[in-house]
Amino acid sequence: METIRQVSSLRLYEDALRLANPGISQMHARTIVYWALATYCDIDPKPLLLVLKSFGCGKTDLLETLFPMVNRGKWVEGNSLAVIRDELAGCKTAFLDEREDEGIVPEGLLTKRFKKANSKMSVNRAMGGAVFRRQTMNINGWTAVARRKRFGSVALMSRCLIIEPEFVPSPDARVTNMGDLRGVVEQLGNVEQLQGEGRTMQIWRPLAAIADKFHDGEWIHYAVNTFCSDVEEQDLTRQYEPEEAVIGALEICKNSLNATRLHDHWIKISEVKRTAGTEYEMSLKPDQVAAMLHRKGHAVSIIDGYPAVRVA
């Protein structure tokens, strides 16, 4: 048991990733392997793996080498939000190799995959004619994305482990199928998630629980310095986020089965405020939330004695 817990047992997987993309470091590669191992574990929340760099740096080769390692991987290739939503439903580990000049970038859907508590969606399904049936789906899961540009949503970026490869030309670079990591996971046994508060902790702590099994203090030190800095950098760009947070929170409430509706068409402002706090770490007063929603064209009124916003 103890031998499998040595970091050297992951070296073949790390080397395969670095062969596919020579522009990533050993720590980058180990981060990706830990992320792949996490897809087999009951861990929540699930940070997105974002491979971010301009054209020609081997992002696609990196994802193609990673794909066989993960638990129940699936390439998501829909060209509309509805199709992508259906592909994500029940998808354990989703892979998106995005081209910004083509197709849809489902930022709202990817945000909802992050945490179990907010990943349920309710949609209307046409049953023929004018008949519709309400259906519930769950889009929670792990997500790996290759992109040239950062996401427009600061909230989504703050949920990402960011890998930025350098361009390193190599005639030996190639995609290698190392197989899945199920055998390693079975020998690791139960992985107990390390607890931590705040978005920064939520990003790297799920992987730290696995690194701890390998007694990998080196990676944990790297994660503290690297991923905490990434999230702090995102915080510096939050000047415009309060309004974005309120609109995002309203969307989460609209799709949540736990949100209490008043007369079927209204949601309490207090629920939108609370969701903006838990999901976007935004501290707002109810009247601020109501004012932002009103400015965005949403109907705001007093329903059954509660300030509420109309959603349908």
State pLDDT tens for residues 253-273.
887 766 788 998 999 999 999
| Domain residue extents for the chain | 3-235, 239-310
Whether 3-235 and 239-310 share one fold: the answer is no
CATH number for the 3-235 domain, one of 3.40.50.300, 3.40.50.1010, 3.40.950.10, 2.60.40.10? 3.40.50.300
Q: In the chain, where does DSSP find H-type helix? A: 11-20, 26-38, 59-66, 81-88, 107-112, 154-157, 182-188, 198-213, 217-235, 241-255, 269-280, 286-295
Q: How confident is the model at residue 238 (pLDDT cuts 50, 70, 90)?
A: very low
List, edge to edge, every strand of the sheet that includes 142-147: 73-75, 93-97, 142-147, 48-52, 160-163
* pLDDT (0 to 100) of residue 110: 92
> What pTM did the predictor assign?
0.76
State pLDDT tens for residues 179-208.
999 999 988 888 877 665 556 667 888 899
Report the distance separating Cα 154 and Cα 152, nearest Å: 6
- Spell out a b/e string for 18-56, using b for 16 or more CB atoms within 10 Å of the CB, else e: bbbbbbbeebbbbbbbbbbbbbbbebebbbbbbbbbeee
Structure-model confidence comparison of residues 229 and 125, the more confident one: 125
Residue 42, pLDDT > 80, answer yes
Residue 9, pLDDT > 90, answer no
Residue 2, pLDDT > 50, answer no
Q: Which two tokens stand for residue 304?
A: 């059954």
Distance of CA 161 to the CA centre of its chain: 9
Residue 3, pLDDT > 50, answer no
Residue 233, pLDDT > 60, answer no
State pLDDT tens for residues 81-124.
888 999 999 899 999 997 655 557 788 889 889 988 888 887 77
pLDDT, averaged across the chain: 85
* pLDDT (0 to 100) of residue 239: 44
Backbone dihedral region for residue 264 (phi beyond 0: left; psi -120 to 50: alpha; all else: beta): left
Q: Topology of 239-310 in CATH?
A: Arc Repressor Mutant, subunit A (1.10.10)
